[in-house]
Structure 1
């Protein structure tokens, strides 16, 4: 027995004036029971890639800077934060700010009950999801390929791997037994970003302007693959899908809090940034990323369905904070003020983030102070001469000192 699902991928304009397009996946039809993990894995990996076209206006970057500004930039001399000036000379996309572009454009009617979409979901019984971690690579010349000049840019999104963890010894993926309560499915999604400065009209030409379907498996897909052969940024996201909790389990978990506290690194950071995410910030980031997931917006859902004591901070927002703290630490090491420099200046520095790998280890909650810590490597002769890449540690601790996020970055 196998698991069959009917998938249909099509290019669809969001509206007559929209600048963002996406690959739309239709509803699923499951014809066989039970669903083995092998079936789930095969179906997910073989889903068609999604293509997101956006135009890199400075607007989203400005709005993100304004949203983060009260906590991350210098407001000591004014009660009103002035947004950074993205002038013609400084239209570089700040590292991490690509996360507020290329949103998934799923119609509201097809969203799942928790506000998420089906694009990466394995389906029931794995109906709860969180962002478990990932990695990001900034390739040489990425700044020029993704300039904030209003030009078109493309994101290619592909499911690369699917894993299941927490499987009891008695469960065999080949026997047809259903996954038990407590198992988790991890879905690795690869995103490749690049600008369409040269020949972007070829890609746009294959998009049907009359809202008709396009064969994304043919000419359009080949053009997209050619476009992202040398991406500006590559990002891997690991999404964790879990089984539902009973009302009793959710109530118990929301009241008991975290049962396991992970110890933070024993070594001292060379830079620390304190930050308290507010409900307003979570709402703004949800709006910028077109993210309706209820764990960021609905306290009742968090407590009574998911078993969290309060709203959760977004995984991509935590990634943005990690990159911001790294930028500030680099500026501090270079003897510059980390709070008075505008974020769009960071990529033009002699040192910037080449890559970052991170894992989200514990929930990060709204209205609770967190500390983003960075530890620069010990000085070496090669580093003093500007030779070679340098590995920096970066992590986030919660209000009780427990480790929430852990990562390592390569600085060049």
Structure 2
């Protein structure tokens, strides 16, 4: 029995509206035209965002956690938090104007000893309804880690001499995430984690080599790559996992190819280091 078992089954309900203003801002962020029909897949990541008061944020920008009944997440005493993975089922498209409700549930909490120290894992199940119809079902895995030593090597290492092999993939797009793109995505998702906008904090406190590109931002770009190949709202499932940090201002290769599991997607640094991997299934 874990000391965090009391949090398993804890729920949180939120409501939102996929209004025209959000749709325009989301499309503007990615240089897309606002569609006449349903919004592209990935917009759900910008709905029912965190609503914690500024005074309740921790030093990293995330909402503080404590032992109270009001604390949705367990107060695992590890300061660094990362959204490590998600397993998503797309059940119905999201239309502009839809009333959104999302119910979140703590599905599991566990602790492990890793090569870099203690790790805490929290799985959160989200069920998103649009106008009362189930539209997205997602399980997110969050990882909590020890504080970084002040002299820990910066992560990831500087790009090496290797190159990304484009010939191994059917579709490849290369882009360079900018500070502006990260800022806009943080604003869309009301994400105040300082690794995405505060360079001194990211470098000195969490020991990243620069600002870190959001995993869900990369996932949204990969969903758009899939949409270009298969059409809007063509995916039934998507599972992604963060592999290594992607750093702002550095080229990022977005890639897609068929696989035995359906569609394999990934993002890679200029030297071939993989930053995120994903697999998707068509509807």
Relative to the length of structure 2, the TM-score reads: 0.88
- CA-CA distance at 1:259 after TM superposition: 11
CA distance in 1 between counterparts of 2:59 and 2:162 reads 32
Query: Per the alignment, do residues 167 and 363 of structure 1 end up closer, same or farther by CA in structure 2, a change over 3 Å counting?
Result: closer
More strand by share: 2
CA distance in 2 between counterparts of 1:317 and 1:409 reads 16
Query: Per the alignment, do residues 124 and 84 of structure 1 end up closer, same or farther by CA in structure 2, a change over 3 Å counting?
Result: same
Give the 3-state SS of the residue equivalent to 2:30 in structure 1: helix
The equivalences for 1:3-402 within 5 A come to 38-40=2-4, 42-46=5-9, 48-69=10-31, 84-86=33-35, 90-117=36-63, 118=65, 121-123=73-75, 125-139=77-91, 142-143=92-93, 146-149=94-97, 151-166=98-113, 182-196=117-131, 231-249=134-152, 252-253=153-154, 257=157, 268-330=168-230, 346-347=232-233, 352-376=234-258, 391-402=262-273
5+ residue gaps, structure 2: 66-70
- CA-CA distance at 1:165 after TM superposition: 2.9
Cα-to-partner distance string for 1:295-335 (whole Å, 9 max, x where unaligned): 1010011111001010001121122112111111225xxxx
CA distance in 2 between counterparts of 1:409 and 1:280 reads 29
CA distance in 2 between counterparts of 1:114 and 1:260 reads 30
RMSD, matched Cα: 2.7
- Name which of structure 1's ranges 322-331 and 48-57 shifts more when overlaid on structure 2: 322-331
Give the 3-state SS of the residue equivalent to 2:224 in structure 1: helix
Larger Cα-atom Rg: 1
Relative to the length of structure 1, the TM-score reads: 0.62
More helix by share: 1
Give the 3-state SS of the residue equivalent to 1:280 in structure 2: helix
C-alpha contact 1:134 1:236 (8 A) present in aligned 2? yes
- CA-CA distance at 1:399 after TM superposition: 1.7
